[in-house]
Structure 1
Amino acid sequence: MSTAALESSSEPPDPWSTVATQRVVLAVVHNVTAATRLLDTLPLLAADPRIRVVFTKTGSSAFDEGTAEFLAKHGVTEIPWDEATSQEFDLAVSASYGGDLHRINAPLVVVPHGMGYNKYLETGNRKPETGNRKPVFGLSPEWLVHKGRVVPSALVLSHSEQLDRLRAACPEAVPYALVAGDVCYDRLSASVALRPTYRRAFGMSAGQKLVVLSSTWGSDSLLSAAPQLPRMIAGSLPIDEFRVIVALHPNIWSHHSRWQVLEWLSSCRRHGVHVSQDVDEWRAAIVAADLVIGDHGSVPFYSTALGNPLLLATTPGHTVDPQSPIAHLLATGPRLDLSGDLAAQVRTAIAEHDPGRYAEITALTTSEPGRAAALLRRAFYRILRLPEPPEQAEVVALPLPGRPLTGPDSHQVRIVLDRAGSAVVTRFPAEGIRTGPQAALREAHLAVGVNEPLRRWLETADVILGEEGADADDWIAGTLALMPGCVLAAAPVTDRAWLVGDRTGHRVRVEGDSSTCRVFVSVVYEWLAQGNALDDFPEVWSVSWGAQERPVRARLCLPGR
């Protein structure tokens, strides 16, 4: 075929267009999950000024809620489905098989929207064509064939093992199969070199561990089987040694609403758990993670493929094809004993981890590591009948998380004190008083922040911790006057100093980095609780909390001075 023929335009002139494109691609969106994978894939051709990309929603997904908002957030303008199916396009790209894809007037390429094809999924109104065999989503005739015709022009598979399963389930689709790797996994792999950068962006200090809990959707998921697990994990771990993220499948948010999900997880959030509301943040999280706790979703598998430790909170093997990679991981991966010592299991999983333990299984993630971008772009341009751009097809490392993780605002605090000026601080979420199996920790006091505390915490606080503002001394006096059971109040006065006070008018100016100053208020409390006088309070301290050891200077300010 000549270059002139390759470059011939199939798009009629548009008098309103600024860029004179030659081809039009239809991006077919089913829900937020599928949209995220399309946004991974479409940049392989969308930057080409010869190509215009048009988006449409099928409206067929039970999880359509939130999809239009997601597209709008990314600057996408969509056309109605009926309008899209009444026009002709040079190429259509989808990341799901839902809806009447046979109505599309274009060669259709379908890419997976997760780690390959693993799950059984009800086919809705589609007539089963395989007797009693359960249809595997994306590999069975129910999803691939319409009235005897294979719908996709190219069925993208991430690994050749899927080709074997496709051959057994739907042999007529084999000629349309393209083993092209996994662009999502390639982005994850490309980002591993930046792991310290992601951890830094999450606000992780040296020695802190990041635990990610991942839940897919449905009745067999982690969130369904163990809805209290996130707060149980967070409540069992010292907050300064661990941070916890919960990453939920977008279908959960779509079906139940953002407000409802956040309400269900409100106690979990008071435990200091970061409930990720960014549908893509899970990717940076597993690159940064020290442990992933999950179920039969794609996220735990991707994480394990990156070499991270794994614990499985639920293993519903009946939901997946027994020949699939995820089924193999469910059958062999380590289980989390929900009734056992959660903290001990977390520590053991991290300490005894062998990154190569599941390498034979996770090798099934992709047959073409690092090559998905090149293979997919080549296929797209072949269908478009355009020469590929001269530059190499590339994947981009993942975006950095938007803000650092923060722990709970209120804590149960244990102090080991040395009169020579050293202290070891261990903090647990105050929410454990309400929900933890141990209730109030022995030999601990309650330090309460002012950011939406529970009333009972205010009534029983030993220490109240304020925010930055004018006249900390007046705030301390006024707050303690209204909280007769509280011993100390403290607030920042600069970005490197706090003022700590009691109801007698004694004040201690604490100098150091702000987070250590906040922790140090509990050291002042413990000094008094052990019967010591503030007059004898050492000026120079070394404070250990989590994996950190930080210096602090404390200066006593006597009443009236």
Structure 2
Amino acid sequence: MAPEWVLEDGRPIATATVLSHPEQVERLRAACPEAAPTAVLAGDPCYDRILTALPQRDRFRRALGVGPDRRLVVVASTWAPRSLFGGDSDDPDDLLPWLLSRLAAELPADEYRTTAVLHPNIWYGHGPGQVRAWLANARRAGLDAVPPLEGWRQALIAADCVLGDHSSVTYYAASIGVPVLLGAFPEQDLDPGSPVASLGRTAPRLLRHGSLRAQIDRAVEAHEPGRYKALAEQTSSAPGESAVLLRRLFYGLMDLPEPRSHAALLEPLPLPPFHPARATAPVRVQVRRIGADPPEVDLARYAVGGDEPDPPQDPAAPAESVHTMVDEETREPGRLRVADVVVRRADADDPRLGPPAAWAAEALASHPYCGLVAYVDGLDRCFVGTREGELLRLSAAPDPDGRPDLCDPAAYACALYAWTASGRTPADAGPVIRVRTGAAVHRVTVEPFAVRVP
């Protein structure tokens, strides 16, 4: 609201300066009295669309591949040099890629989902190709990068925690009651009387040298629903009314009568396309426990890259409980030679690969040191080929409402590998083995498929 932003040759640039709350009018009057007569209170259409879509939170979460026992972490950054993306320097390769690598190394892939929301100026200032290059390692580890213009509101609504900075996206998250953890917050760049500055005095800060998972979990579990109530009240003084107020303003500026045949309405937020997490980076699998009565495997999977730190080892788990899963489409083909489980994702009977039995036979021959291979051809199932020539179908039971299980089916193959590596047979696991990933328990049917691996 400084004069250099709102005046040209000493006169207001805008005929009407649309503001969402009276406190903004007061700050405009204090910062630039010449522009104060242009102020119009007309609410916030972006905030209104978010408020209207809040009841769809569960649908948005499923669209992002997030089930009820999985946490969605949204990493949000604005475009300033001292933002989360810019870090403490002008080099955007500083803080955010480091943070995303740490998140991939510390957060079990089946218990957390990470989504990045970057300001459009980042995408178009550096170029989409450069941004994708900066995010490439994290995307191979399962990161979902929201497009620059659409989809970020749905991600906020679905989020369990927003790891952000002084951006409006972080502020919107706090306004709707989402737990916030500030990874960067340059107080010196903000008006100390602004609501965003108040967020910096209210929200917890990320400690760079502490456990990221512990800090995220603490932010979620210690969050009080009314923590950001005062901030929410300053987001808009007319929640739900922006469409009416803005249309009235626009037609008044054109000196035309408002249409009376239909109400002023905002476009609802669309349901995002289904986008489950997928890691093409090698995956380190830690088996926490194997139980026989009933058959159960408790595991945690971490996507790891060549330069990323190893995931934390559960001290209660024996060293031999660790194995590696590698996707056939990995960028690190050398890892396939030492993989315990090799996975391929494709539609059933893909003509390029053939049916599961044909692919399994080829994969076992191509990767002679792996223990089993898994062909994921559905949202909640996969086919597993073993060295003994068996072809097994692993399929997870739906939830009580009949919706498919949203865990990556490759986790079921990893559980079966751990089961057989402990000296048991697939028949010992059937007909149902429980696969535990954090708080979630997946009931997986193990059944021989009609065709054996040749």
- Determine the C-alpha separation between the residues in 2 that align with 1:299 and 1:336: 17
Identical-residue share of aligned pairs (%): 37
- Deviation larger for 312-321 or 516-525: 516-525
> Counterparts in 2 of 1:239-258, with a 5 A limit?
239-258=109-128
Give, as a single letter, the amino acid of the residue that structure 1 aligns with 2:384: V
Give, as a single letter, the amino acid of the residue that structure 1 aligns with 2:330: E
Q: Hey, what does 2:402 align to over in structure 1? A: none
Report the alpha carbon displacement of residue 492 of structure 1 after superposing the two structures with TM: 4.8
2:52 pairs with one of 158, 180, 190: 190
Whether 1:503 aligns to 2:387 is yes
Whether 1:426 aligns to 2:299 is yes
- Deviation larger for 172-181 or 338-347: 172-181
- Determine the C-alpha separation between the residues in 1 that align with 2:197 and 2:30: 18
Q: Hey, what does 1:395 align to over in structure 2? A: 266
Q: Hey, what does 1:466 align to over in structure 2? A: 344
Is the contact made by 2:161 and 2:180 (CA closer than 8 Å) also made in structure 1?
yes
- Determine the C-alpha separation between the residues in 2 that align with 1:493 and 1:174: 61
Report the alpha carbon displacement of residue 439 of structure 1 after superposing the two structures with TM: 7.6
- Determine the C-alpha separation between the residues in 2 that align with 1:507 and 1:460: 22
- Determine the C-alpha separation between the residues in 1 that align with 2:377 and 2:171: 47
Cα 1:175–1:229 shift into 2, 3 Å: same
Indicate the SS of the match to 2:373: strand
Is the contact made by 1:505 and 1:558 (CA closer than 8 Å) also made in structure 2?
no
Cα 1:472–1:196 shift into 2, 3 Å: closer
Report the alpha carbon displacement of residue 488 of structure 1 after superposing the two structures with TM: 1.1
Give, as a single letter, the amino acid of the residue that structure 2 aligns with 1:405: P
2:286 pairs with one of 402, 409, 414: 414
Cα 1:265–1:559 shift into 2, 3 Å: closer
1:163 pairs with one of 5, 18, 25: 25
Is the contact made by 1:373 and 1:393 (CA closer than 8 Å) also made in structure 2?
yes
Cα 1:444–1:393 shift into 2, 3 Å: same
Report the alpha carbon displacement of residue 394 of structure 1 after superposing the two structures with TM: 2.0
Report the alpha carbon displacement of residue 501 of structure 1 after superposing the two structures with TM: 2.6
- Determine the C-alpha separation between the residues in 1 that align with 2:342 and 2:242: 54
Q: CA offsets, 1:372-392, max 9 Å, x none?
A: 211111111112121111133
Indicate the SS of the match to 2:245: helix
Give, as a single letter, the amino acid of the residue that structure 2 aligns with 1:550: R
Structure with max Cα Rg: 1
Cα 1:437–1:321 shift into 2, 3 Å: farther
- Determine the C-alpha separation between the residues in 1 that align with 2:84 and 2:410: 35
Is the contact made by 1:509 and 1:557 (CA closer than 8 Å) also made in structure 2?
no
> Counterparts in 2 of 1:271-282, with a 5 A limit?
271-282=141-152
2:228 pairs with one of 358, 380, 396: 358
Q: Hey, what does 2:164 align to over in structure 1? A: 294
Q: Hey, what does 1:108 align to over in structure 2? A: none
Give, as a single letter, the amino acid of the residue that structure 2 aligns with 1:245: T
Is the contact made by 2:105 and 2:311 (CA closer than 8 Å) also made in structure 1?
no
Normalising by structure 2, we get a TM-score of 0.85
Q: Hey, what does 2:375 align to over in structure 1? A: 491
Q: Hey, what does 2:90 align to over in structure 1? A: none
> Counterparts in 2 of 1:59-458, with a 5 A limit?
139-225=1-87, 226-227=95-96, 228-390=98-260, 391-409=262-280, 410-415=282-287, 416-431=289-304, 434-438=307-311, 442=319, 443-458=321-336
- Determine the C-alpha separation between the residues in 1 that align with 2:253 and 2:271: 34
- Deviation larger for 401-410 or 274-283: 401-410
State the Cα RMSD in Å: 2.6
- Determine the C-alpha separation between the residues in 2 that align with 1:535 and 1:288: 40
Q: How many residues align?
A: 423
- Determine the C-alpha separation between the residues in 2 that align with 1:385 and 1:557: 74
Give, as a single letter, the amino acid of the residue that structure 1 aligns with 2:247: R
1:541 pairs with one of 433, 436, 439: 433
Is the contact made by 1:238 and 1:426 (CA closer than 8 Å) also made in structure 2?
no
Report the alpha carbon displacement of residue 359 of structure 1 after superposing the two structures with TM: 1.6
1:475 pairs with one of 359, 362, 372: 359
Gaps (5+ residues) in structure 1?
A: 1-138
Report the alpha carbon displacement of residue 554 of structure 1 after superposing the two structures with TM: 3.0
Cα 1:524–1:426 shift into 2, 3 Å: closer
Give, as a single letter, the amino acid of the residue that structure 1 aligns with 2:358: D
- Structure number with the bigger relative contact order (C-alpha 8 A, sep ≥ 6) is 2
Is the contact made by 2:79 and 2:121 (CA closer than 8 Å) also made in structure 1?
yes
Cα 1:211–1:541 shift into 2, 3 Å: same
- Determine the C-alpha separation between the residues in 1 that align with 2:451 and 2:37: 85
Q: CA offsets, 1:346-400, max 9 Å, x none?
A: 1111111112112223322112222221111111111212111113322232122
- Determine the C-alpha separation between the residues in 2 that align with 1:557 and 1:248: 48
Q: CA offsets, 1:16-67, max 9 Å, x none?
A: xxxxxxxxxxxxxxxxxxxxxxxxxxxxxxxxxxxxxxxxxxxxxxxxxxxx
Cα 1:498–1:166 shift into 2, 3 Å: closer
Normalising by structure 1, we get a TM-score of 0.70
Report the alpha carbon displacement of residue 535 of structure 1 after superposing the two structures with TM: 6.1
Report the alpha carbon displacement of residue 494 of structure 1 after superposing the two structures with TM: 7.8
Indicate the SS of the match to 2:85: helix
> Counterparts in 2 of 1:20-35, with a 5 A limit?
none
Cα 1:327–1:500 shift into 2, 3 Å: same
- Determine the C-alpha separation between the residues in 2 that align with 1:373 and 1:429: 45
Gaps (5+ residues) in structure 2?
A: 88-94, 398-404
Q: Hey, what does 1:75 align to over in structure 2? A: none
Is the contact made by 2:392 and 2:448 (CA closer than 8 Å) also made in structure 1?
yes
Is the contact made by 1:321 and 1:327 (CA closer than 8 Å) also made in structure 2?
yes
Report the alpha carbon displacement of residue 510 of structure 1 after superposing the two structures with TM: 3.4
- Determine the C-alpha separation between the residues in 2 that align with 1:420 and 1:170: 73
Q: CA offsets, 1:55-90, max 9 Å, x none?
A: xxxxxxxxxxxxxxxxxxxxxxxxxxxxxxxxxxxx
Is the contact made by 2:174 and 2:231 (CA closer than 8 Å) also made in structure 1?
no
